[in-house]
Structure 1
Amino acid sequence: MEKRIINPWQWQDQRSYVQAVDVQQPAGTLYVSGQAAVQADGQSSTDDMKTQLLLAIQNLEQVIGEAGYECRNIVRLTIYTTSHEEFWPNFPILQTWIAQHGIKQATTLLEVNRLFETLKVELEATVVK
């Protein structure tokens, strides 16, 4: 797989994403459903945004790893949140995780009216090999 980052500007670097990712000749593509703060027993978290974000990241890592892919090869990350005001103070958690894995991904952040049950944040990813 060959991956090329397209960034006509530099301002997005502070926000931990890129404008576009060009992938040539991938050996595989994994489309990951939105991962949220759902416990292994299927129970949705009622915790605060920080705790839910940490569990959503953990669940995303687990799915990617079990599929035989690596987080560093995430090329698209869509973030859904029920509240930008609650999410934004916790954004550094996501930025640190992105930096730890060396991820360079196109990202969209959306505030939605509601997620399933009591969930506050959901992470959807596309990963390549």
Structure 2
Amino acid sequence: MSTLEKRTVNPWKWQEERSYSQAVEVRNVSATLYVSGQAAIDPDGTSSDKDMKSQLEQAIANLEEVISTAGYECSGIVRLNIYTTSTKELWPHFPILQEWIAKHQIEQAVTMLEVTGLFETLKVELEATVVK
């Protein structure tokens, strides 16, 4: 069986301080997990009405829970989409996400979008593609 190969493509250096890559190529993938957007929703299905920092931390925890429950590792994330109701409100807390990315040695392509609304009282949602 071939070993997973991952190659990042970065024609520039500036994205490094933002903790992402312009493109990620993967070869010899044995499986791919497409994770729905994970937000600050409690196990009983209640949406958080807390501040952006709390919601980001819970969204990260929920994303990690889904990935590990599926038998994958966070280091296998190759694409991360970030949806937020306010990039201005999210940006001061972005180091939380960057520290999590560094902790798991994730190398991923990223898209961040500001949207007019998310489900109920949610402020941030994380959607990922994970390989192994």
TM-score (norm 2): 0.97
For 2:59, give the aligned amino acid. A
* 1:57 match: 60
Q: Distance in 2 between matches of 1:84 and 1:7?
A: 24
Q: Distance in 2 between matches of 1:25 and 1:95?
A: 27
**1:25 CA displacement:** 1.4
For 1:3, give the aligned amino acid. K
Q: Pairwise CA RMSD of aligned residues?
A: 0.4
**Residues 1:123 and 2:129 are matched in the alignment:** no
1:88-114, Cα deviation, whole Å (9 max, x unpaired):
000000000000000010000000000
* 1:74 match: 77
**1:85 CA displacement:** 1.1
* 2:33 match: 30
**Residues 1:85 and 2:93 are matched in the alignment:** no
Gaps of at least 5 residues in structure 2 are none
SS of 1:23's equivalent in the other structure is strand
Q: Distance in 2 between matches of 1:6 and 1:84?
A: 25
* 1:96 match: 99
Match for 2:42 among 19, 39, 42?
39
**1:77 CA displacement:** 0.1
1:17-51, Cα deviation, whole Å (9 max, x unpaired):
00000011100000000000000000000000000
Q: Distance in 2 between matches of 1:85 and 1:22?
A: 31
Structure 1: 4+ residue segments shifted above 3 A: none
**Residues 1:21 and 2:43 are matched in the alignment:** no
For 1:101, give the aligned amino acid. H
SS of 2:12's equivalent in the other structure is coil
For 2:56, give the aligned amino acid. L
TM-score (norm 1): 0.99
